[in-house]
Amino acid sequence: MRIGVYPGSFDPVTLGHVDIMERGAKIVDKLIVGVLLNGTKNPMFTVQQRVELLKKATAHIPNIQVCPFEGLLVDFLKQEGAGIVIRGLRAVTDFEYELQMAQANRSLYPAMETVFLTTNVKYSFISSTIVKDILRHGGDVSHFVPRSVLDSIYFLGGSNHGSSDGN
């Protein structure tokens, strides 16, 4: 069975992420969405909240599983028996970092491959950072996040707003 991992912070999940998950799930037998626990980005949503939002947002994709992980991505791949990492590319600005990560991961675990899916142009400007900025200022994120999680994102984003202990 071909198992892929789509790792990220997903703080919170966006329409751009879901598009990559729908497409990624078609090229592997099972796609594990790996939610980074040890992100250094001072998250707005706790890892449990991010996992719950992702589960709701991907309920329509049968071969997807969402789980948190910490530590090295290559260790998570080995633990899950996965040989493929899926990442999304929005613009050239993503490329330098993504190339470095892919090469570092392969030097740690030569049996793995990173597969890059290019963003759907209609979502290319969407990022979790922009969603959080809009939420902090009480704006409308309905064109940025899946409809199934919109209410939860407003609720959680509003109650977590201002808390610095997001992990």
136 is catalytic: no
- Tally Cβ neighbours within 10 Å of residue 2: 11
Positions 97 through 136 that interact with ligand ADP (CB under 6 A): 119, 123, 126-128
In this structure, are residues 54 and 13 in contact, taking their beta carbons and an 8 Å threshold? yes
Which one of the listed residues 50, 87, 128, 132 is annotated catalytic?
Answer: 128
Contacts (Cβ under 8 Å, ≥6 apart) of 88: 16, 17, 20, 94, 116, 117, 118, 119
The four Cα atoms 27, 29, 35, 41 give a dihedral, to 10 degrees, of: -20
Report DSSP state, residue 113. Answer: E
Give residue number: closest CB to ligand ADP.
16
Q: Which of 5, 12, 18, 20 binds ligand ADP (CB under 6 A)?
A: 20
Residue placing its CB nearer to ligand ADP in the complex, 118 or 159: 118
Told to judge if 152 belongs to the known catalytic residues of this protein, a careful annotator would answer no
76 binds ligand ADP, rule: CB under 6 A:
no
Residue 122 known to be catalytic? no
Q: Which residues form the interface with ligand ADP (CB under 6 A)?
A: 8-10, 14, 16-17, 20, 87-88, 90, 94, 119, 123, 126-128
